[in-house]
């Protein structure tokens, strides 16, 4: 809200000006004329300095600044700059000269920056003034789950509220105040799935369709959450977004539209939107289509989109697309190779892709839930430790696999390749492997109807298949091989009850198989030259073809 305040310029003479005093307000686009003194440049910069002397340090949202200051008959242009990249803070000048400081609400960390105003007179003389600001980390960088937003609301003390706007999708469990035709609002209480014991009131909810709301309706609500005398609620002015789930994508859209020409987001992303136009029809030859879709209030192109159902897309369809986003000559688009994924997989895909933002050894603080299909059993189920390690592909995103490390839970012992599972845990980047960390939990399983893959009878076929594996990949079956020990790589460990050896299968001297942490009766006495039979999962670990830990002798 603009506020009229009297500001005294402590210069050669005093003048009154209009000024805003926080990061969300601004003086009028063109202030009242500042009376000239001997040095109009000093007057102009003094006006700007005074106008924003109470500007808030934290800038979580966009804010505006004047772009012109009249001093007598001269209009000075104010040039605003920052010392950080445009993907964090971008200066935008409107046709009327008003300046918007566009901040990245999805910033990954608190970022100090300096905002500087520079004014130059007709003789080339300049005057500057700077303000220290902080761009706070966006709460929705990786996408808080609805449950986490509810928990955050319930952590507020009486009278506190969140500064940011959030969306929740939930079911109406009570109509607290019926629709008012006079005030055009209604108060309802919703429950978010999994958090039924923590209801959220939507106080004086407004928006299209609010007049027809009923208990049992599933709705998306947006607003500021606060604790009012123990009631956790969306504050007055909250809005009914839709009588369905509409995810909050504002931070991602803003980051995409802040890209400079030729730039791309450093991480893969997923968006849900409505198709507005088929820009290039489906190609049977190339198996792709190009469409424009509306996401929030912007148009994003999905260039050469592939995936099940892409062929039949039409205007009006609601679709979910995953891939790399870039600015191509001013068009914000998913790059070629983007994939159409099922709409109901949006949250799983978003959570999976969020792992690919992590640096090596970095992990996320909050737990995520992902549903995907098992493509490899990396470590067989351990009866001793009651866990298994598997790798899943989410919604067909082969390039963005997620490993479930030491996965535990009911049914884990029976998992096989092709099963669809839902897992929950903390995501991390472990030396380039994007994974749920140890302790992740199996929430649900949908067993594949396809029979489990069976190893070939010919051992040479197994060895050949093993050596065809890419780094990190594993054979889709449990294998048994007989070979002669050529080296003892790690001596028998009494503490851990295992040994590591390498064997040669048949005449394949050029294709040895390592038996990593081999265990079983007689393993303690193994020596070079012994002929042994080993059973387990075979994988390529950084160029070493090996039976995985847990392989057994005999």
DSSP annotation of 464 reads H
Domain locations in the chain?
A: 1-138, 146-242, 269-341, 347-446, 459-553
Answer whether residue 174 shows pLDDT above 80: yes
Say if residue 57 is exposed, middle or buried (CB neighbours under 10 Å; 0-12, 13-18, 19+).
exposed
DSSP annotation of 231 reads E
Q: Which helix (H) or strand (E) holds 151?
A: helix 146-154
Helix (H, G, I), strand (E, B) or coil at 448: coil
CB-CB contact of 347 with 444 (8 Å): no
Please name the residue that has the structure tokens 């839902």. 422
Q: What is the mean pLDDT of the chain?
A: 89
Residue burial 155-177, b: 16+ Cβ < 10 Å; e: rest: eeeeeeebeebbbbbbebeeeee
Phi/psi for 50 (5° steps) reads -70, -40
H helices within 221-301, ranges in order? 250-257
Say if residue 266 is exposed, middle or buried (CB neighbours under 10 Å; 0-12, 13-18, 19+).
exposed
Structure tokens, 504: 């040669």
DSSP annotation of 157 reads P
CB-CB contact of 29 with 97 (8 Å): yes
Query: pLDDT digits over 500-530, tens only?
Result: 999 999 999 999 999 999 999 999 999 999 9
Structure tokens, 188: 């309802």
Please state, as a whole number, how many other Cβ atoms lie within 10 Å of the Cβ of residue 136: 18
Residues 6 or more apart in contact with residue 257 via CB below 8 angstroms? 298, 332
Question: Which residue from 233, 256, 108 is spatially nearest to 168, judged by alpha carbons?
Answer: 233
CB-CB contact of 414 with 383 (8 Å): no
Give CA–CA dist 392/416, Å, rounded.
11
Torsion sign, CA atoms 229, 231, 232, 233: negative
From the centroid of its chain, how far is CA 330? 23
Query: pLDDT digits over 284-314, tens only?
Result: 999 999 999 999 999 999 999 999 999 999 9
Query: pLDDT digits over 73-97, tens only?
Result: 899 999 999 999 988 899 999 988 8
Amino acid 24: pLDDT? 39
- As a three-state string, the secondary structure of 34-84 is ECCCCCHHHHHHHHHHHHCCCCCCECCCCEEECCEEEECCEEEEEEEEECC
Say if residue 148 is exposed, middle or buried (CB neighbours under 10 Å; 0-12, 13-18, 19+).
middle
Question: Which residue from 483, 522, 521, 520 is spatially nearest to 502, judged by alpha carbons?
Answer: 483
Say if residue 451 is exposed, middle or buried (CB neighbours under 10 Å; 0-12, 13-18, 19+).
exposed
Percentage of the chain with pLDDT > 70? Answer: 92
Q: Which one of 38-52, 140-154, 192-206 scores highest in mean pLDDT?
A: 192-206
Q: What is the DSSP string of 354-398?
A: HGGGPPTT-B-SS-EEEEEEEEEEEEEEETTTTEEEEEEESTT-T
What is the CATH class of 459-553?
Answer: mainly beta
CB-CB contact of 356 with 268 (8 Å): yes
Structure tokens, 326: 């870039």
Query: pLDDT digits over 116-143, tens only?
Result: 999 999 999 999 999 999 987 665 444 5
DSSP annotation of 447 reads -
Q: What is the mean pLDDT of residues 467-493?
A: 93
Q: What is the mean pLDDT of residues 491-498?
A: 93
Give CA–CA dist 237/121, Å, rounded.
46
Question: Which residue from 479, 474, 495 is spatially nearest to 389, judged by alpha carbons?
Answer: 474
Please state, as a whole number, how many other Cβ atoms lie within 10 Å of the Cβ of residue 489: 16
Give CA–CA dist 20/1, Å, rounded.
8
Say if residue 408 is exposed, middle or buried (CB neighbours under 10 Å; 0-12, 13-18, 19+).
buried
CB-CB contact of 514 with 545 (8 Å): yes
Answer whether residue 63 shows pLDDT above 70: yes
Kindly indicate whether the domain formed by 269-341 is annotated with CATH number 2.40.50.1040. no
Helix (H, G, I), strand (E, B) or coil at 507: coil
pLDDT bucket at 12, cuts 50 / 70 / 90: very low
Question: Which residue from 503, 502, 515, 507 is spatially nearest to 460, judged by alpha carbons?
Answer: 507
Quote the pTM value: 0.69
Query: pLDDT digits over 327-336, tens only?
Result: 999 999 999 9
Give CA–CA dist 198/201, Å, rounded.
10
Query: pLDDT digits over 383-392, tens only?
Result: 889 999 999 9
Q: In what order do the strands lie in the sheet with 63-65?
A: 63-65, 99-103, 89-93
The CATH superfamily label for domain 146-242 reads: Nucleic acid-binding proteins (2.40.50.140)
Structure tokens, 336: 């070629």
Amino acid 3: pLDDT? 30
Amino acid 31: pLDDT? 58
Amino acid 7: pLDDT? 35
Phi/psi for 250 (5° steps) reads -60, -45
CB-CB contact of 362 with 355 (8 Å): no
Helix (H, G, I), strand (E, B) or coil at 461: helix
Question: Which residue from 430, 439, 427 is spatially nearest to 386, judged by alpha carbons?
Answer: 439
Percentage of the chain with pLDDT > 90? Answer: 73
CATH of 347-446, one of 3.10.129.10, 2.40.50.140, 3.30.499.10, 3.60.40.10: 2.40.50.140
Q: Which one of 120-124, 137-141, 196-200, 376-380 scores highest in mean pLDDT?
A: 196-200
Give CA–CA dist 287/337, Å, rounded.
11
Q: What is the mean pLDDT of residues 1-29?
A: 34
């Amino acid at each position: 809200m603009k506020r009229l305040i009297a500001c005294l310029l402590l210069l050669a003479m005093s003048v009154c000006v209009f000024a805003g005093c926080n990061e969300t307000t601004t003086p009028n686009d063109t202030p009242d004329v500042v009376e000239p003194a001997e040095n109009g440049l000093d007057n102009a910069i003094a006006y700007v300095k005074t106008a924003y002397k109470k500007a808030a340090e934290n800038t979580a949202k966009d804010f505006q600044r004047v772009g012109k200051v009249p001093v007598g008959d001269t209009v000075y242009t104010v040039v605003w700059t920052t010392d950080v990249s445009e993907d964090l803070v971008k200066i935008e000048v409107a046709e009327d000269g008003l300046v918007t400081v566009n901040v990245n609400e999805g910033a990954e960390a608190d970022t100090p920056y300096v905002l500087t105003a520079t004014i130059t007179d007709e003789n080339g003389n300049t005057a500057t003034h700077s303000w220290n600001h902080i761009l706070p980390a966006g709460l929705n960088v990786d996408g808080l789950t609805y449950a986490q937003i509810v928990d955050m609301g319930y952590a507020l003390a009486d009278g506190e509220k969140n500064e940011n706007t959030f969306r929740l999708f939930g079911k109406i469990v009570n109509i607290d105040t019926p629709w008012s035709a006079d005030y055009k609002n209604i108060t309802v209480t919703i429950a978010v799935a999994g958090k039924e014991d923590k209801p959220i009131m939507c106080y004086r909810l407004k928006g299209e369709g609010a007049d027809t709301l009923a208990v049992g309706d599933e709705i998306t609500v947006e607003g500021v959450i606060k604790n009012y005398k123990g009631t956790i609620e969306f504050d007055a002015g909250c809005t009914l977004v839709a009588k369905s789930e509409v995810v909050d994508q504002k931070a991602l859209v803003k980051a995409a539209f802040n890209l400079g020409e030729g730039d791309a987001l450093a991480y893969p992303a997923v968006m849900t939107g409505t198709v507005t136009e088929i820009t290039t029809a489906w190609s049977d030859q190339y198996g792709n289509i190009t469409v424009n879709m509306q996401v929030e209030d912007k148009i994003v192109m999905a260039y050469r989109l592939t995936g099940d159902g892409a062929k039949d897309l039409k205007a009006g369809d609601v679709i979910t697309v995953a891939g790399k986003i870039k600015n191509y000559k001013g068009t914000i688009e998913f790059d070629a190779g983007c994939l159409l994924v099922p709409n109901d997989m949006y949250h799983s895909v978003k959570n999976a892709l969020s792992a690919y933002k992590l640096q090596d050894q970095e992990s996320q603080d909050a737990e995520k839930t992902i549903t995907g299909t098992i493509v490899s059993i990396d470590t067989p189920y351990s009866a001793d430790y009651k866990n298994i390690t598997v790798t899943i592909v989410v919604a067909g995103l082969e390039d963005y696999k997620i490993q479930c490390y030491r996965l535990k839970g009911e049914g884990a012992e029976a998992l096989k390749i092709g099963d669809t599972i839902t897992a929950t845990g903390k995501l991390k980047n472990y030396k380039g492997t994007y994974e749920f960390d140890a302790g992740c939990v199996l929430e649900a399983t949908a067993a594949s109807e396809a029979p489990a893959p069976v190893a070939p009878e010919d051992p040479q076929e197994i060895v050949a298949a093993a050596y065809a594996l890419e780094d990190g990949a594993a054979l889709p079956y449990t294998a048994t091989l007989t070979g002669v020990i050529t080296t003892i790589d790690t001596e028998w460990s009494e503490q851990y009850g295992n040994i590591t050896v390498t064997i040669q299968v048949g005449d394949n001297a050029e294709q040895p198989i390592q038996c990593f942490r081999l265990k079983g009766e007689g393993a303690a006495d193994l020596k070079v030259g012994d002929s042994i039979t080993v059973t387990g999962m075979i994988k390529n670990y950084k160029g070493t073809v090996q039976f995985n830990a847990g392989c057994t002798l005999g």
